[in-house]
Amino acid sequence: MKLKVNMEKTEARRAVGSSFLGFTFTTIKSKNGLGYCKPKQKKIEKFEQRIREITKRNRGVSAERMISELNSYLRGWINYYARGYFKKWLEGKAQWIRRRVRQYLWKLWKKKDARKKHLRELGVPEWWICKYRKGLSCNRYWRMSNALRSAITNDILQEKLGLLNIEEYYRVKHNERMEMDRTYNSQQKFVFI
């Protein structure tokens, strides 16, 4: 066939620690040494960089468009890597993503009166707005995004703004992939000669 072998990508070694199609393979330290896969570190860094680009404060797009792009990217990434085990990592990243969205909203609303108006539209209690009345003019976006956790809760982000609940989405897709693998493996008939 006269195919050329790419010496940089080709390797012959044990599966543990090797990478293939964006996954890194590893084992659980147990008697049976079961293996699992997770996203490659390079792909994780690329994921984080893309989230930073989408949620960049000075992009100048509406919150709806930013959330739509973010949801689309998150769905695609999770659909591809759903077979891997990265639940704990994803929980931490989900908090980080929600904080970046809150930061984006705070920058987008700009003025104190606009911030009050938008917070009321989202159903934030009046006592919260009164408690943080001095902070409503604050332009320390990352710091305010942390304070906004009690006002713009995860439920508000998901129900009113439409942000994807990535932990739940991963759980559903991961279970689907595992069930699909179990079904496929039970249907295979191996013949040894």
CA quadruple 90, 91, 96, 99: dihedral sign: positive
Q: Are 161 and 98 in contact (CB under 8 A)?
A: no
Percentage with pLDDT > 90 across the chain: 39
pTM across the whole model:
0.81
Helix residue ranges per DSSP H, the chain: 41-54, 63-81, 87-109, 112-121, 126-131, 141-147, 154-159, 166-187
Which distant-in-sequence residues (6+ apart) come within 8 Å of 90 by Cβ? 166, 167, 170
Q: Given the structure tokens 């699909």, which residue do they identify?
A: 180
CB atoms < 10 A from the CB of 130, how many? 8
Express each pLDDT in 14-55 by its tens digit: 656 666 677 777 766 644 556 667 888 888 999 999 999 999
Express each pLDDT in 118-149 by its tens digit: 999 998 888 888 887 777 888 888 888 888 88
In the prediction, which pLDDT does 70 show? 97
